[in-house]
Structure 1
Amino acid sequence: MKEEKIQLLDSPDYKTSCISTIKSFLGLEEYTESNEDIKSMNLKIFKQFNSSKRLGKLRLLMKLNNISTYIIPSEDEHQSEYTSIKDQRREFISGFTGSSGIAIVTLNKAVLSTDSRYFLQAEEQLDSNWILLKQGVKGYPNWIDWMINETIYEMNKFKNFGNISVDPRLISWDLGDKLKFKCYENNIKFLTDLEFNLIDKIRDNLPKNLNNKLILFPFKYNGELTKFKIKRLREIMKFEKCFVYISNMLDSISWLLNLRGNDIIFNPVFFCYTIIYHDKIIIYLDKKKLNNEIIEYLNDLNIIIKSYNEIWDDLPAITNNNNNNNNNNKTNNYNKICLELNSSYSIYINIPSIYEIKFRSILTELKGIKNEIEIKNLKESQKIDSLAIIRLLSWFNNKNNKELLTELDIVDKLYEFRKQSLKFKGLSFQTIVATGSNSAIVHYEPNLNNFKEIEMNNILLIDSGGQYFEGTTDITRTIYTFKDKNVNKEIKKSYSLVLNGHLNIAMLKFKFGTSSYYIDSLGRKPLLKYGMNYGHGTGHGIDNYICVHAGPCGLSPSETSYNYKPLEIGNFISDEPGYYKDGEYGIRIESDLLVIKDEDEDGEDNLKFDYLTLVPFCKELIDTKYLTIEQINWINKYHENVYQNLKSDLENVKDFEAIKWLREATLPI
């Protein structure tokens, strides 16, 4: 099949601004009414923060409701990684903007617990009212133990109430169960029956959802009609003997129904719940988001439409009263309810206790295996996105050491190159451009109040992704900024060890069922030899025009919500080892890989990776003594493939400087 040429906007002088980029970050590119709205929102978001006033208001409300300790999670009702502005409660109370972490506020203290990706960021963003609990670091208690001990201490010393509370919609069922047991063990009340969220009560101007209309996601991109997805889901429900499946996962519902929305920054999803029986489906959502076409589409699928909050009336009334009179139908004998692995505690405690619960994210498992049409499309999205990054790297090479540039200049320019593609729909996450010591902060994000000029003779790390109907991308390249031709030997060694680990995975051939923990270890192995490591997973699943982080398969040292099944044909994941030296530099190399059958070996269980990202590595940072002969040969073959694949597309847009740069960047090492 002949491949479509990548379409770009014609004007080589196309410009964007920092405001335009932030509009994309906020998911507002098509929906804001005026630039003034954007400007005021930016000032609010990036304003210097003092948490004293907000903590004072929260503690007053806690006292009025007999609460001594209040938990503020990062997640929304759907356990989303990225949240809409209205759901960013932890950020509102603490000032910490990282995507992962939990805040605990007592009547006398406040702590923020997060993982190693965000230690440096949290230390910079938290004011003196907050204590940072570093997850997994010796000498720091986990946040649950800290919370229990502090609550008991304040009960005894200050005669506080001794009641711990949380909004049950915002925590997972298993965390809720654990907290309930811990509180019971320590004679503390666990309150989950408040009818409002305390943070929402103290927000003066609670942001509202935008009434963005849903869109149908066409067959030429999804590759499977919804009715067939539903049929496959119900077959697995029968296998598990479940009469109903309840989903709160926005990415899974978007995939199942072949619908997309714009309710959360970077993620084309929409707020909803579904209850799926064997003979009907109920969807709970804001009906204002529906047009006549979507309503007719849902009706044709026998999907009942209800308002978003009606879920809480219907959950306690769930019953297995299948009305199908077909004697061959056995579903009315099933006594199980299937819940997502990440179901909220509120769903868990609201379903009838007479039924057995099966926890399995069936939709996530189905979504994680790409069909032929999805694979064709995600390859196209990788090519489009790689082209934008190569043009950015060429542009920077020409500017390097000739004029002062900032991290935000790089953010803007990459957005400009991406937006020149007619297929670009927005960013898949906020672009990370980090120079020098900022690159040691794993998820550093420059903003209007915090950015640096690009440092010479140092690291520049660029981690970014785009959303296209064809797919979702996530690519990281680390380069060196030259003032002279001397490269720091330590940095060169570190880069080469990271690249070695990256290629250990990319070149791997393995059997079906191979532990993802083992594959993760291959990315760390070269670093560990020199006493080096990194504090994040080595890879995660990626969706097709949904979320950049997705389950059920990934690479990490232990089970996570993104990694709880072995890899299989059709899984699409990232490969991203790294190394970070606090206060000095950070290195990460990330590409996106598709799991395919190894045609060179007999048997269906022989697997390997198809390497889809088309961006060269930084040759100047490669020290071949830290690589194997096989890896060097692989790099040379890969680089030539990148050049041959993208040369004609660069010719089409008349970017001859990029062609020249790419030829140099892909010469053999």
Structure 2
Amino acid sequence: MRQTFDETTDPSFGAKHLPLVRAKMAEQGLDGFLVPHEDEHQNEYLPEANDRLAWLTGFTGSAGAGVVMQDRAAVFTDGRYTVQVKAQVDAGHFELRDLVEGGVPTYLEQVPKGAVIGYDPRLHSPDALATLRRAAAKAGAELKPVQANPVDLAWGDERPAQPTAPVVPHPERYSGESSASKRARIGEAVAKAGADAAVLTAPASIAWLFNVRGGDVIRTPLPLAQAIVESDGRARLFLDPAKVTNELPGWLGDAVQLEAPEALPSSLEVLSGRRVLIDPAQSSAWYLDRLEEAGATVVRGMDPCTLPRATKNAVEIEGSRQAHIRDGAALARFLHWVDTVAQIELPDERTVVEALERFREETGALKDLSFDTIAGVGPNGALPHYRPVTRTIRRMEPGSLLLVDGGGQYLDGTTDVTRTMAIGEPSADQRRMFTLVLKGHIAMATVRFPAGTTGHQLDALARLPMWMAGLDYDHGTGHGVGSYLGVHEGPQRIAKAVNTQPLLPGMIVSNEPGYYREGHWGIRIETLQVVTPAKTIPGGERPMHGFEQLTFAPLDRRLIDVDLLTAAERAYVDAYHAETLAKVGPLLDGEVKAWLEAQCRPL
């Protein structure tokens, strides 16, 4: 289950690989080259063969970018990876820069006038590319597409083969709707958008539409593939024959034509004269270029699978409930271990990560983690998305806090949960800060809102208790989550940044306010919740949506300052713990069940 590129990747990668890439750049007349983290499918998590940034630099995070010039180079990461990038990348060969503040566009604005900067059109979305072009133009530089990627050429025969994990059916007992029904719906959406066909390049859309799952991407059960869907629901699925299992053709049916990926370019050409829907935010510029060259009329619009995939049906929601109960039992065993064995042995962060993974594996249902587990002790917990890397691993110590954020991939659902635990006796300050975070978490869990409300409009509710104390946190409050798909799924989001997508019934989002005291410790409380259908509240005049809690794992009672909670907030915690005991308790026995009963008693 662990990544092939280990998080302790040799920092000398840059010294070894930069000269090789620069030589290939020179052969193409390039002064620079852009190396995004994203691959041809705009994936967050990548197969090893597509992790070009990791091969070039040693950095293995899930978000980043690189720029290679003939005389210098830079790696860009966000605040989640401040520690990791320093441990993995040789700062003598790469300047370490912020991905968000300025990022690659600002860097391009400073390249020499007349510089020719290459890019692989298969790796950049048109929207992102437009921003980069404007930045290069400010410097008087040129962005030039390449036919052959210099990184791939430099990697050469050592580059791993593309993954060929078998693509398997995802039965209707998990999906809740047949592929034929989905394709009919998507065909109607394509026609409504004024198009004759749609090109789908997002692996999550492929997996959802055809009711299949794969194993090409770590942490997410995706098949790497593309599809062309007609307005009548017929489809062509471009899939490596090595991935096609004996049962797959029959599962897909006669209305789906299987073809090899090599047939995709010619299949785009035959769309000449037709109106073709494509999502410029999810599909690379290469697709739009090929369609326009073929004489097709490009209709830019959201991937038609995005919203139907995000709004889970009743079967998927029930599957998520069951996955979270199963996962909750694993979490209870883990939290019991932290509260007993670990409090005595004081293990390091890597041991904590391995323990949580072990408890999830013991469910017998875990297919993979949903992301690399985050476990931060003390100052490392103050880095919101810290991962234990060799140079920074800390041991648990009395008086500190342990923040653990992890999740699992199960056939019936995807989980993601964060709990913060006291090591030894917490201080009054730690209890106060934890309780402020808890108050914001409760506000988001209990809110009611009318149809049309966006996550952007709700975000301040989770921050208000902290704002009143002069505090805040620098990440979003909630992200969408898939159904045995990606742990990060759009278009819904709860964050300060403006998001125009309303929260719709069936959408699953996280609720994860936090607080981070640099150099000391961090706090985050995260559960997943699903948007409920609108109903009229007694005495109310308008139907309101709300959230149903999906995650059930006890909070650390020692960190709750009950005096800071209102009566309604105390009632919420008691009710949440009672429901946790009722749902998870039957899966436990012995010491762990007794421990859970004690943790879930009323405040």
TM-score by length of 1: 0.85
1:283 to 210, 227, 237: 237
Q: Give the Cα separation in 2 of the matches to 1:517 and 1:243.
A: 34
Q: CA deviation at 1:359?
A: 1.6
1:359 to 301, 304, 310: 301
Task: Read off the aligned partner of 2:456 and give its amino acid letter.
Answer: Y
Q: CA deviation at 1:513?
A: 1.0
8 Å contact from structure 1 (residues 212, 263) kept in 2:
yes
Task: Read off the aligned partner of 1:589 and give its amino acid letter.
Answer: I
- Other structure's SS at 1:313 match: helix
Question: Structure 1 residues 119, 465: closer, same or farther in 2, change over 3 A?
Answer: same
Corresponding position: 1:452 with 2:452 = no
Matches within 5 A, 1:261-340: 261-279=214-232, 280-298=234-252, 300-320=253-273, 335-339=275-279
8 Å contact from structure 2 (residues 329, 585) kept in 1:
no
Q: CA deviation at 1:73?
A: 0.4
Question: Structure 1 residues 71, 493: closer, same or farther in 2, change over 3 A?
Answer: same
Q: Give the Cα separation in 2 of the matches to 1:336 and 1:64.
A: 36
* 2:421 corresponding residue in structure 1: 479
Corresponding position: 1:341 with 2:281 = yes
1:143 to 87, 104, 122: 104
Q: Give the Cα separation in 2 of the matches to 1:434 and 1:203.
A: 38
Deviation >4 Å, runs of 4+: 41-45, 447-450, 602-605
Deviation track 1:186-238 (CA, whole Å, cap 9, x = no partner) reads 44222113233424523551011343211111111110000000111111112
* 2:410 corresponding residue in structure 1: 468
* 1:621 corresponding residue in structure 2: 559
Question: Structure 1 residues 339, 666: closer, same or farther in 2, change over 3 A?
Answer: same
What 5-or-longer segments of structure 1 have no aligned partner? 1-23, 27-40, 156-161, 322-334
- Other structure's SS at 1:662 match: helix
Question: Structure 1 residues 168, 356: closer, same or farther in 2, change over 3 A?
Answer: closer
8 Å contact from structure 2 (residues 84, 389) kept in 1:
no
* 1:612 corresponding residue in structure 2: 550
Matches within 5 A, 1:240-639: 240-279=193-232, 280-298=234-252, 300-320=253-273, 335-339=275-279, 341-352=281-292, 355-447=297-389, 451-482=393-424, 485=425, 487-559=426-498, 564-601=500-537, 605-639=543-577
Q: Give the Cα separation in 1 of the matches to 2:350 and 2:187.
A: 48
8 Å contact from structure 2 (residues 382, 520) kept in 1:
yes
* 1:36 corresponding residue in structure 2: none
- Other structure's SS at 1:53 match: helix
Q: CA RMSD in A?
A: 2.2
1:172 to 83, 102, 125: 125
Q: CA deviation at 1:578?
A: 1.3
* 2:98 corresponding residue in structure 1: 134
* 2:599 corresponding residue in structure 1: 665
* 2:16 corresponding residue in structure 1: 53
Question: Structure 1 residues 166, 509: closer, same or farther in 2, change over 3 A?
Answer: same
* 2:584 corresponding residue in structure 1: 646
2:85 to 102, 105, 122: 122
Q: Give the Cα separation in 2 of the matches to 1:551 and 1:636.
A: 32
Corresponding position: 1:225 with 2:178 = yes
Task: Read off the aligned partner of 2:514 and give its amino acid letter.
Answer: G
Q: Give the Cα separation in 2 of the matches to 1:412 and 1:307.
A: 39
8 Å contact from structure 2 (residues 47, 163) kept in 1:
no
Question: Structure 1 residues 546, 515: closer, same or farther in 2, change over 3 A?
Answer: closer
Q: CA deviation at 1:369?
A: 0.9
Deviation track 1:390-432 (CA, whole Å, cap 9, x = no partner) reads 1111122121342241222222222222112232212111111
Q: Give the Cα separation in 1 of the matches to 2:358 and 2:496.
A: 37
Identity between Structure 1 and Structure 2 (%):
28
- Other structure's SS at 1:580 match: strand
Task: Read off the aligned partner of 2:297 and give its amino acid letter.
Answer: Y
Q: Give the Cα separation in 1 of the matches to 2:390 and 2:263.
A: 41
Q: CA deviation at 1:317?
A: 3.3
* 1:324 corresponding residue in structure 2: none
Q: CA deviation at 1:646?
A: 2.0
Q: Give the Cα separation in 2 of the matches to 1:52 and 1:667.
A: 57
Question: Structure 1 residues 412, 455: closer, same or farther in 2, change over 3 A?
Answer: same
Deviation track 1:477-496 (CA, whole Å, cap 9, x = no partner) reads 010111xx3x2233222211
Task: Read off the aligned partner of 2:151 and give its amino acid letter.
Answer: L
8 Å contact from structure 1 (residues 501, 523) kept in 2:
yes
* 1:209 corresponding residue in structure 2: 162
Q: CA deviation at 1:146?
A: 1.6
Q: CA deviation at 1:597?
A: 2.5
8 Å contact from structure 1 (residues 247, 340) kept in 2:
no
- Other structure's SS at 2:109 match: helix
Moved more, 408-417 or 253-262: 408-417
Deviation track 1:447-506 (CA, whole Å, cap 9, x = no partner) reads 566532222211111111111111000011010111xx3x22332222112111111110
Deviation track 1:13-59 (CA, whole Å, cap 9, x = no partner) reads xxxxxxxxxxx123xxxxxxxxxxxxxx5779644545222112222
Q: CA deviation at 1:532?
A: 2.2
Q: How many matched pairs?
A: 597
What 5-or-longer segments of structure 2 have no aligned partner? none
Moved more, 509-518 or 406-415: 406-415
Q: Give the Cα separation in 2 of the matches to 1:404 and 1:583.
A: 20
Question: Structure 1 residues 50, 232: closer, same or farther in 2, change over 3 A?
Answer: closer
Question: Structure 1 residues 202, 292: closer, same or farther in 2, change over 3 A?
Answer: closer
Task: Read off the aligned partner of 2:602 and give its amino acid letter.
Answer: P
8 Å contact from structure 1 (residues 509, 598) kept in 2:
no
Deviation track 1:149-173 (CA, whole Å, cap 9, x = no partner) reads 1233xx5xxxxxx101111111111
- Other structure's SS at 2:405 match: strand
TM-score by length of 2: 0.94
8 Å contact from structure 2 (residues 272, 291) kept in 1:
no
- Other structure's SS at 2:110 match: helix
8 Å contact from structure 1 (residues 244, 336) kept in 2:
yes
Task: Read off the aligned partner of 1:509 and give its amino acid letter.
Answer: R
Q: Give the Cα separation in 2 of the matches to 1:624 and 1:632.
A: 7
8 Å contact from structure 2 (residues 126, 280) kept in 1:
no
Deviation track 1:325-374 (CA, whole Å, cap 9, x = no partner) reads xxxxxxxxxx4533353111111211125514222122010101111111
Q: Give the Cα separation in 1 of the matches to 2:447 and 2:83.
A: 34
8 Å contact from structure 2 (residues 9, 88) kept in 1:
no
Q: CA deviation at 1:594?
A: 0.7
Q: Give the Cα separation in 2 of the matches to 1:149 and 1:222.
A: 49
Moved more, 267-276 or 338-347: 338-347
Question: Structure 1 residues 49, 636: closer, same or farther in 2, change over 3 A?
Answer: farther
* 2:2 corresponding residue in structure 1: 25
8 Å contact from structure 1 (residues 479, 618) kept in 2:
yes
Task: Read off the aligned partner of 1:594 and give its amino acid letter.
Answer: V
Q: CA deviation at 1:181?
A: 4.0
Deviation track 1:294-333 (CA, whole Å, cap 9, x = no partner) reads 12333x2411222123323332331356xxxxxxxxxxxx
Corresponding position: 1:113 with 2:51 = no
Task: Read off the aligned partner of 2:2 and give its amino acid letter.
Answer: F
* 1:12 corresponding residue in structure 2: none
Task: Read off the aligned partner of 1:389 and give its amino acid letter.
Answer: L
Question: Structure 1 residues 644, 71: closer, same or farther in 2, change over 3 A?
Answer: same
Corresponding position: 1:94 with 2:32 = no
